[in-house]
Structures are given as C-alpha cells and as structure tokens.
Structure 1
Amino acid sequence: MMRFSLHATFSGAWLAMALLVATACDTDYENAPYPYKELMAFSFDANGTTVEAAIADGQILLYWPHALALPASITPLLAVSEKASVTPASGTTVPLQDNVTYTVTAEDGSTATYTLKVVVNQPPLSLDEENPTIVWFGRLADIRGTNILLDASRTAVSLIAANGEETPVAIDTIVDALATGFGSNILAQIPEEGAALDTGWYKIKVVTGVRTATTTEPVLYIRYPYPTFDAITSAITVHPGETFTLHGKNFRQLEDARVMVQDGSEEYYTLTQVSFTPNEITYRVPDDMPVREYATILPGITDTFSGFFEYSYQLNGFPNVHPQLIVTESEK
C-alpha cells in the first residue's frame, strides 16, 4: 500500500500554481502594446548637405543659416520610437514653413504632436530715416540701411506713394561699405520719367531674406532732371524784337533768361520766354535792346523741389564761345 505525504502534496500544488501565475504574467507583459511615441530624428538633404533639426518640447527646431536661401519644400527622413508610426510619413515632401505638424502614434494608439519651427539666423533689418534721398528720374537712388543681404536675388525694393500704391524698383548694386558681411547701401534704379512713378515723396520698403522694413515717413524724393543745354558753337545773331531758340533736354522748369554785356560791366538784359518743349525753348529779344555783343546767355531755372530760382551758367562751358548773342540793327 502506497502512502503520500500530505505536506508534499500541498507543496507540489503550490509550486504548480506559482508556475502558472508566472507564466501568465510573462505572457501579459510580452503582449502589451508599446506606449512609446517619440520623434527621435528629423533630417533632410539641402544641396548635398545633411541638415538635422533639434527636437524638444514638441517642436522640431530647424536653425537655418541666413546666407542660404530657404527652399519652398523639403523631404525629411524621420525616426520614431519602436513600433510607432508617423504622419506625414518619412520621405514625404512638405512645405518648409512654420506650423507643419507631425503626429507620432504609438502601438497602443496614443499620440504625440510635433510642430516644425524654422528659425533663420538673420539679424534685424533697419533703414536710414535720418537722411532723405533726392533723386532724378532715370538715376540711381542710394538707399541706406543695415543688415541687408548681399544677394540681390533675395532682396527687393519698393517705393510707396502717399496714396499707398507700392511700386517695385530694380536693384543695381548692393554695397557692403562697412565690411560687415551685410549690405549698407542699395543702389536702386529709378525709372525714366513717365514710366511708373511721378515726382514727389515716397516711403521705402525693403525685403531681404526673411526680414522686411518700411520707413515710417517718406524719405525719398523723385524730382525732374535738371535741364541741360546743347553747347553754343557760334554766336546767335538777331535783331531787336526777334526770337531765337536753344536746344537741349529736360526743359521744364525754365523761366525768362538774361544776357550779360560783353564788356564785363555786369550789365544784364532780360530775354522773355516765348515757348518751350521738353527739348527746346524760344526767347524773345526786347524791342529796345541795345545793339551790341553779349557775352553769355543765362537761362532762368526754378528748382521744382526747393523752389529756388537761379540763372544757369551751363552755356558758359565748353566750347567757350563769346559772344554768344549779337544784336544787330533792324533792317529798314
């Protein structure tokens, strides 16, 4: 007859139960879905260079050098926690701009959101508002400022009229006069008269890289070009009461002229303006003008910007012809 120890029987039962519980616990642990949902890496290729973003506190921080133009889009490669997925997926092209959002989903269904933030390492832009610029049509305007990118393809200049209308102007050159690695002067081409702009005061707007600045007040004045005269190559001979015509360009601000007596006595006579076009002006000799030689014709000019009136000595340049006007007796 076989005998069993009650103690041994209970010990074996407890051992079996312990093994079953342990096995069950191991099975539950191995089959639990992963809760991990971390975005671990974010990188992309930029002209052959691998750019990696910093990831912290739900942000994908992309620090971008100012000297490199921002592309419109990127195709990043992503790494996430084991058994997690990400949307948009790794290798998907997205716009390179703030607030592009990535969602990482863990195996257990929980999610974490990461937002792209582009930080361009470009210093603030400023424009000189203390020194107004006065420029003629068709000339270069010197626009002064700080931290202007030297790449003209990434910089734009506009002039803003009093009515708010904004007109872009072409950039001729960007100058780094202070040797800082940034531009200090933009030479901008003002269009020819009648092309796009009128005379008057304008605010200046500059966009360079990711920076934009606009002057708070109008600081650039566009004026008509100063009149220029064709040289007198021989004396003009007229009778009292007759007219004669001078040629040149930009004849707009001209008034009556005067002539100086040839003997250097500082005695002057007035010539009345009869008519003018942009390229010629006609003067009339007074009926009672003395018959003699006159050294220099001095056209009267009013500056449309300052309102200042002066008599121009342009006709006294090369070739230096004197007398320039000869008044002879009228034919009887």
Structure 2
Amino acid sequence: MQKEIFKHKLLVFNYVLTALLLTLTYSCKKEYPDFPYNEIEKFSIKDVSGTELNAAIQATNIIVYWPPFQDQPDSIQPQIAVSDRAVITPRSGLKIPFKEGFSYEVKAQDGSIKTYTLKIANNQPLPYFSLNQLEVNLNGSLNLVGDYFIPEVSKTSVFLVDKNKKETQLTINSISNVGIVADIPLVLSQDTSHYHVKVITGKRTLINGPYYIDRPVLALGTIALPADALTVKRGQTLVFTHTATPGVLKYYAQTGISASVSITNRISRSVPMQITDTEMTITIPQDFPLGRTYGIVAFMVEGVQKGIWRRTGSPFTVTE
C-alpha cells in the first residue's frame, strides 16, 4: 500500500516538475525575444599610407572622406562592426569596388533588414583660377594662375567653350599647383570670338570667362633672299622667303601691304609687295635710284612692320 502511495506521489511530482519547466521555458521566450538591431556601428578602411579612415554613418549612408591629392583606389577592404547578433552582407573584410552606390545589407536576429549605401565625399580643395594675360591669341598660349590644381595632365584638363557650348580641349605644356599654360590652336570653332575657359582637375570643374580670343600674331620669322641676287634691274622682281606660320596670313588685310627699301640710313622707298604663306615678292620701280646698294628691306602689313631682311655683307645694287 505504501509502495502504491509513493508511486502516486512520484507521478504527481513529475507532472508538476514538467509543468514548471514548460512554464519557465515559455516565460524565457517571452522575456528574451530575437534582437531587432540591424545597424552598422563602425566602418573603416585604410588610405594609401595605411592610415585608418572611419566612415561617417548617416541614416543609411556610409560616407567615406578620401584624403585630398591621394589616388583613389578601385577597391577597398572595409572592417565593419554591426549590431549584436546581426549579420552583414557582404561580410566584413571582403574586397569591394570603391564606387558610389555600392550597398550592404544588415540583417537583424529577428529577420529585419536595413540597406546601407556607400557614398564618397569630395574632399578635394576647391581650386580657382584667373587669366594672367592682357591679350589671348589664336596659335598662342593660355596662361592661367590660381591654386589647388592637380599637377598631372592625366588628372587636369583645359577646354575652350564657344557660344554654342562646343568644347575644344587644349594641350597643356606646363602645369603646377598654382598655374597652367596651355596651347591655343590656330583654328577654333568660332575663330576670333569670346570663349569661356573650363578647367577639370580631379573631381572639380570650374568655368570662367568669357574671354576674347584675338587673331594670331603675325611674325614673318626668318626672311631670306637668294645669295646670288647682287645686281637688280629696274622692273625686276625679287622673291623673299619667310617662315611665318602657315594659315596666319588669312587673318590680315591684303590691302596696303608694302616693302620699305632703305636707300640710306635716313631715307627709304616704299614699293608694292605681294605676300603668300611662304613668299613675299617686290618689284623694283622704273624710277628707282641707280647705283645704290640696298641691304635692308622692311616688310609692312597693315602699316606695321612684321619682319625685316638685312644683308650688309652683300647688298644688292640697282642698275638699268
């Protein structure tokens, strides 16, 4: 009988114990729900020198401030810390492309997901420039002064922009942090006209102007006459060669051009002249003084001397 009572009590005890354990288990589940946290708490990378850069986490943006004047890599390997019991994809330490718009997903323990987007802040100082010359000419140079240019032609470009927004890229022949000298071609879309100057350096773009670009400077360069032209008759033509840049002459009037032939140090005679891209031709007038030796001829275009020929060792003499 006592044995039966003991078995009954043991059965009741086991039942109560099981019920208690089930109640405790249920209570634990109610007290400790799955974590709902899906935040990025830290996002860091290293720059070119190995210095740690911590991104700023703003809402769902991961903002990286890359150091100015450092080459920006194509990829990075971020070290990322997230909320307790959350999982991030791609995971921390994996190489990712370093570009705007790349995204991460952080999944909380309760299954909720938050998406973060990578943004690269432009930490490059804002450059500035002005024109450092009174006159700008076709076939000349554009001289810009300023600061914070990236002194590499692969990262800095200069353009002229016409009134129709057409851009012409210029060749840079010298560049520093504070100045750029670029070549202007002989022919532009609008030729002599007003143009804006556009400079792209790194991630920065600046536009100034407009500036007037005038016609090219005409300089006849080296002028030569055949060495055997020592005796010249009245009415005879003399052909001088010159080395002016081909194509420049078309910007200058062809009326009123002349050659000034020196008779003495104080007296000269103006004679008609024809000029091409490579030659100048003058004709000795029929009434030109005879027996004189002439070793200096000045060539005038639009009333301005553009070149001079000198040959004092073997001048020419005018004869009948």
CA distance in structure 2 between the aligned counterparts of 1:198 and 1:228, rounded to whole angstroms: 27
Query: What letter is aligned with 2:192?
Result: G
2:316 matched to 1:314? no
Kept in 2, the 8 Å contact 1:128–1:145? The answer is: yes
Residue 213, structure 1, aligned to residue 215, structure 2: no
Residues 47-81 of structure 1: CA deviation (Å, up to 9, x unaligned): 57364332333232211112112234444343322
* Whole-angstrom CA distance in 2 between matches of 1:228 and 1:57: 65
- 1:283 is aligned to 282
In structure 1, how many angstroms separate the alpha carbons of the residues matched to 2:20 and 2:149? 76
User: Is the 1:37–1:105 contact (alpha carbons within 8 Å) kept by the matching residues of 2?
Assistant: yes
Displacement of 1:204 in angstroms is 1.8
- Residue 132 to residue 203, structure 1, CA distance change in 2 (3 Å): farther
Equivalent position of 1:200 in the other structure: 192
Matches within 5 A, 1:247-266: 247-250=241-244, 252=249, 253=252, 255-262=257-264, 264=265, 266=266
* 1:36/1:82 contact within 8 Å kept: yes
Distance 1:162 1:27, change over 3 A: closer
For residue 93 of structure 1, the aligned residue among 89, 93, 96 is 96
Shift of 1:282: 0.9
Deviation at 1:93, TM superposition (A): 2.3
Equivalenced residues, count: 293
Q: Does 1:328 align with 2:307?
A: no
Equivalent position SS for 2:211 = coil
Whether the aligned pair in 1 keeps the contact of 2:132 and 2:143 (CA below 8 Å) is no
Partner of 2:234: 240
* Contact map agreement 1:206 1:214 (CA 8 A) in 2: yes
In the alignment, which residue of structure 2 is the partner of 1:269?
Answer: 269
- What's 2:7 paired with? none
CA contact under 8 A between 2:40 and 2:106: conserved in structure 1?
Answer: yes
Partner of 1:155: 156
Structure 2: state its 5+ residue gaps: 3-12
| Aligned residue type for 1:155 | T
Cα shift at 1:28: 3.0
2:239 counterpart letter in structure 1: T
Which residue number in structure 1 is paired with residue 182 of structure 2?
Answer: 188
Q: Which residue of 2 aligns with 1:229?
A: 222
Normalised to the residue count of structure 2, the TM-score between the two structures is: 0.76
Q: What is aligned with 1:55?
A: 56
Q: Give the Cα–Cα distance (whole angstroms) in 2 for the partners of residues 206 and 225 of structure 1.
A: 28
Counterpart residue identity of residue 211, structure 1: R
Contact 1:53 1:61 in 2 (8 A): no
Counterpart in the other structure of 2:30: 28
- The residue matched to 1:34 in structure 2 has which SS? coil
Q: 1:39 is matched with which residue? A: 40
Distance in 2 between residues matched to 1:300 and 1:325, nearest whole Å: 20
Cα-Cα RMSD: 3.4
C-alpha distance 82-52 of structure 1, shift in aligned 2 (>3 A): same
Compute the displacement of 1:163 (Å). Answer: 3.4
Structure 2 vs 1, CA of residues 198 and 226 (structure 1 numbering), >3 Å: closer, same or farther?
Answer: farther
Long gaps (5+) in structure 1: 3-11, 176-182, 303-308
TM-score (norm 1): 0.74
* Aligned residue type for 2:276: T
- C-alpha distance in structure 2 between counterparts of 1:85 and 1:76, whole Å: 15
Separation of aligned partners in 1, 2:259 and 2:104: 77
CA distance in 1, matches of 2:99, 2:160: 29
Residue type matched to 1:69 in 2? D
Match of 1:9 in 2: none
> What is the letter of the counterpart of residue 54 of structure 1?
A
Does structure 2 conserve the Cα–Cα contact (< 8 Å) formed by 1:198 and 1:222? Answer: no
Answering whether residue 166 of structure 2 is matched by residue 173 of structure 1, we say no
Deviation digits for residues 205-263 of structure 1, max 9, x if unmatched? 1111111111231355461552213355856532222211111112724721111222x
Judge conservation of contact 1:141–1:189 (CA < 8 Å) in 2: yes
| CA distance 1:219–1:272, change in 2 (3 Å) | closer
Percent identity of paired positions between Structure 1 and Structure 2: 27
Q: 1:170 to 1:222 in 2, by over 3 A?
A: farther
- Deviation, structure 1 residue 186: 0.9
1:35: Cα distance to partner? Answer: 0.7
The CA distance in 2 between the partners of 1:50 and 1:65, in whole Å, is: 10
